[in-house]
Amino acid sequence: MAIMNIREAISSTLMAEMERDSSIIVLGEDIVGGAGTAGGPEAIGGIWGTTPGLYAKFGADRVIDTPISESAIIGAAAGAALAGKRPVAELMFADFVGVSLDQLWNQMAKFRYMFGGKTRCPAVVRLIYGAGMNTAAQHSQSVYAMLTAMPGLKVVLPTTPADAKGLLTEALRGDDPVMFFEHKTLYGVKGEVPDGEHRQRFGEARMVREGGDATVVACGRMVNFGEKAADKLAADGIGIDLIDLRTTSPLDEEAILDSVEATGRLIVADESPPRCSLAADIAALVAAKAFTSLKAPPQMVTGPHAPIPFARELERAWVPSPQKIEDAVRRALAFR
Amino acid sequence: MAKLKPFPMPKWGIEMSEGTIAEWLVEENRPFDKGTLLTLIETDKITNEVEAEAPGRFVRIIAKAGETYPVGTLLAVLSDGGEASAAEIDAVVAAFKPADSSFEPDTPVPSPAPVPAPAATPAPPPVPDDVAISPAARARAADAGVDVTGISGSGRGGRITAQDVDQAARAPTEPHLAGPYPLSPGGTAFASPMARRLATLHAVALDEITGTGPRGRIRKADVLARLADAAPPPPAPGEITVTPMSSMRRTIARRLTEAKSTIPHFYVRRRVRADRLLALRAAVQGQRPSVNDYLVKACALALREVPRLNIQVHGTEIHRFASADIAVAVATERGLVTPIVTAADQRSLADISATMAALAQRARAGTLKLEEFTGGSFSLSNLGGFGVEQFDAIINPPQGAILAVGTARPEPIDDDGAIRIVPVLHLSLSCDHRAIDGADAGRFMVALAALIEQPELL
């Protein structure tokens, strides 16, 4: 076991997998070095620092700096995947997935199905998402729910360094397009990472805390917030099952329903606006399949139905917080 | 038109058959508010005040002060506030049938709750027109007499929903809390989280189970099926299975019979709040010590403070121990064993936790060495894991005392004058009176309670 942060887990996994499989290529804006730096040992490896040293090791054929054109990045990845490569495309800000939706939604997601299973599309798209860094309405959004709604895509959200390695390895070994969401505030999260090959199956949620009083379902940064809420609640003798979904497509329905059947209370924490959100999806799932187990209405902890503000204070007010998760658990417990 | 209600002689308690009107405290046709004292009624036990449950007035008072009436007799006619004609009142009087007329005081039939006289249904406060409220919520508010002006609605723009009204109509409840559980071990088996939890709880090996979930994932149902298979088939009706006691069972039987029949046991009991201990434990990152590990440490430190309990009794000799060697009762398939955490007073909590885990594992595997379960200067037995509230244990000879611990159950405590509901542990200490006196036992419990209630000291 090595201790590293999520940034290092991702870059070391990319390095190891590219060594193992020469069909893997990476492409994206500034991924070679960063503004003003040439590729090489001194290069920071993109503004997120997740691809340092790849260019020096694998060269321009496999590590491709692209123009600022998300349509071109995703389109190139889709084509390369069809042609036998395993592309890892980076969207520096997941918000701009919008301009590449045709390539993603109508092409990548559909190839396997529309070509009668005769082709496959092993592309990994890394989307850096999330609020909390004062990056305003166009650079702070969490768009995983939108992609989760598209059949044909797998959607992955690591929250620990071990999962970052395990889930990225799994994505690179599979034959389907994987949307790999990295929260920009979580890169520094440290933890133990298994040495050697480590794969984490998709559709297998992680129990972060266990307890009998409520079920908190979360993904991404909300998992870390859920831990803080859980620890405060535990001090009052309130125990929660905190479920880290790990992947929203496929979804570990069993983990959610088993837990709600035991606790009778559901809280979903989701860093996005409430309408048509992951929170709404999971609340509906539980209402439909565990209705008789519920002791209180499902509680959704989300941002408001508004763009994410730029002002720090307002951004902080927009993002669901540990306090809001804790309040929602207490609300569910107080329901009579 | 006013709504009229009979006001009969109330029934307080199963034995009340009649009551005497001591005094009417309101006059006929004088309106009164909710909570106004209406009358004093004497029974053979007490004199009770009857309060108005809602605003209203007596439109006719029938019963006379100083007279005695059987339970259920019509005493007066109530109105919800308005006046009523003599004809309307006569109709109520004529229609009145004592609810309790068939009641025979000697029959031990449970009576309805001893409520004061039924007063008029409270008049539902009218729902103001400018309140944003759904039609169903408006109707429910009127039915239940809920004042909606105090409700902050959960609908769009604060609109009040039927659910909001239902919530306002119900009294607040304290949920019964199950509390945090230890995190189930991960392992490599492909299993759902609940399957993992159940497997840990029932000590089932996941790798021996074939999963029936998608891609062979082990589900909750698979573990439950394994547990059902493992349960022995029920014996045929009337059949009695005879099994000779194992040698271990015979040893347990002999030692405990000897202990219980020759040692003059006495018991001191005490409850301690465990909320701080549980919170402290919950805040531990990584591998958490069990509650029992904390108790081992607490016992050890308390023994250091009260060394008169840290002993063995051998005939007419008392052997005093320099360190607290705590024997911990561990249930195994073959029976009870008590591996010993030596010098627990000098060990850290993490050390106790690791030692205890290793000892318990070897105890279950039957590989404990002789010196690991003989000796000891004190015993601890914890049945909290089974939800047992409280029990008394038999001393484990030649030791002088044993502590029995139940589950941490939410109970009201006096927290500096305030009533709080927190997890509370029930402790019961069994002592050998040949060597230990009640005051020593009491002192030990004081020290132990202080450690559990201020767990930072551990």
Q: Which of B154, B177, B280 is the best substitution to test chain A (most A C-beta atoms within 10 A)?
A: B177
- Cβ separation B278–A255 shorter than 8 A: no
Residue A51 is which amino acid? T
Per-residue pLDDT at A40: 54
Q: Which is it for the CA torsion B349, B355, B356, B358, positive or negative? A: positive
Measured between beta carbons, which residues in chain B are less than 8 angstroms from residue A212?
Answer: 177-179, 181
> For B200-211, how does the pLDDT look when each residue is reduced to its tens digit (9 = 90+)?
888 888 988 999
Which of the four pLDDT bands, split at 50, 70 and 90, describes residue B124?
low
Taking CA atoms, B337 is separated from A72, B403, B429, in Å, by 70, 15, 19
Whether B265 is catalytic: no
Residues of A in contact with B192 (CB under 8 A): 252, 254-255, 258
Q: Cβ of A207 under 8 Å from any chain B Cβ? A: yes
Gap between the Cα atoms of B442 and B458, Å rounded = 20
What CA–CA distance (Å, rounded) separates B439 from B456? 26
Between A102 and B53, where is the model more confident?
Answer: A102
CATH number for the segment(s) B174-232 = 4.10.320.10
**CATH assignment of A2-193, given 3.30.70.260, 3.40.50.970, 3.40.50.720, 3.10.20.30?**
3.40.50.970
Low-confidence residues in chain A, pLDDT < 70: 34-43
Residue A280: predicted pLDDT: 98
Q: Is the pLDDT of residue B106 over 50?
A: no
The CATH number that domain B260-457 falls under is: 3.30.559.10
Per-residue confidence at B456, pLDDT binned at 50, 70, 90? confident
pLDDT value of position B109: 43
Is pLDDT at B117 greater than 70 in this prediction?
no
Domain A206-334, second-level architecture: 3-Layer(aba) Sandwich (3.40)
Contact criterion met (CB below 8 Å) for A7 and A188: yes
Per DSSP, B70 falls in state: E
Percent with pLDDT over 70 in chain B: 93
At B104, the pLDDT band (50, 70, 90 cuts) reads very low
At residue B111, the pLDDT reads 47
pLDDT of B112 higher than 50: no
Model-level pTM greater than 0.80?
Answer: no
pLDDT interval class at B105 (50, 70, 90):
very low
pLDDT by residue (tens digit) across B377-404? 999 999 988 889 899 999 998 999 999 9
Q: Does A236 touch chain B (CB under 8 A)?
A: yes
Highest-confidence range of A320-329, B132-141, B315-324, B432-441, by mean pLDDT?
A320-329
Among A97-101, B280-284, B305-309, which is the least confidently predicted range?
B280-284
Q: Sort strands A178-183 and A124-129 into parallel, antiparallel or unpaired.
A: parallel
Q: Do A255 and B193 touch (CB under 8 A)?
A: yes
Whether B167 sits inside 8 A of A234 (CB atoms) is: no
A-chain CB neighbours of B193 within 8 Å are 205-207, 241, 243, 255, 258-259
Boundaries of every domain in chain B: 4-95, 135-166, 174-232, 260-457
Name chain A contacts of B282, Cβ cutoff 8 Å: 231, 234-235
Closest CA to B54 of B110, B117, B104: B117
Question: So where are chain A's domains?
Answer: 2-193, 206-334
Mean pLDDT value across chain B = 85
Which fold, B4-95?
OB fold (Dihydrolipoamide Acetyltransferase, E2P) (2.40.50)
pLDDT of residue A37: 60
| Rounded average pLDDT over B293-306 | 93
Of all residues in chain B, the one with the smallest CA distance to A261 is B194
Q: What is the ipTM of this complex?
A: 0.85
CA distance B291 to B302: 16
